[in-house]
Amino acid sequence: MGYTLIEFLVGIVTIVGFMYKFERDTRSELRAELRTIIEELRSEMRSGFNRLANVITSANEITIEYLGLRGVLNQGDVGFLRTVIKGLASTATTRSRLRRGGDSLSSLIRTT
């Protein structure tokens, strides 16, 4: 009966070991897959922000140019406003949290 009990315990330890290894490998694979998905989403968000900034900049440039042609703004004001609009749009896209990588989901993945 002693050998039977020892074989039974060895079997349980083996099963627990395989379960632990499977869980560890699966967690590692999921973490890598989540990192890839997050990076893809960041890239899509960056390109979306850049497109939005380009649209806003273009619409404002057209408006400023139109106001300059109509005589509402002088040419010095038109040049100044163009520079300001481009600066604001580039600041909005380069200072976003997505560029810094500070979102809580990625930090959650790193800590688990």
Provide the pLDDT confidence category of residue 108 given band limits of 50, 70 and 90. Answer: very low
Percent of the chain with pLDDT strictly greater than 90: 11
Mean pLDDT, residues 32-59: 88
pLDDT for residue 9 is more than 80: yes
57-68 pLDDT, tens digit each: 888 888 988 998
Spans of all domains in the chain: 2-111
Please provide the size of the chain in residues. 112
**What mean pLDDT do residues 63-92 have?**
84
Alpha-carbon radius of gyration of the chain: 29
**Which amino acid is present at 10?**
V
What integer pLDDT is reported at residue 99 of this predicted model?
47
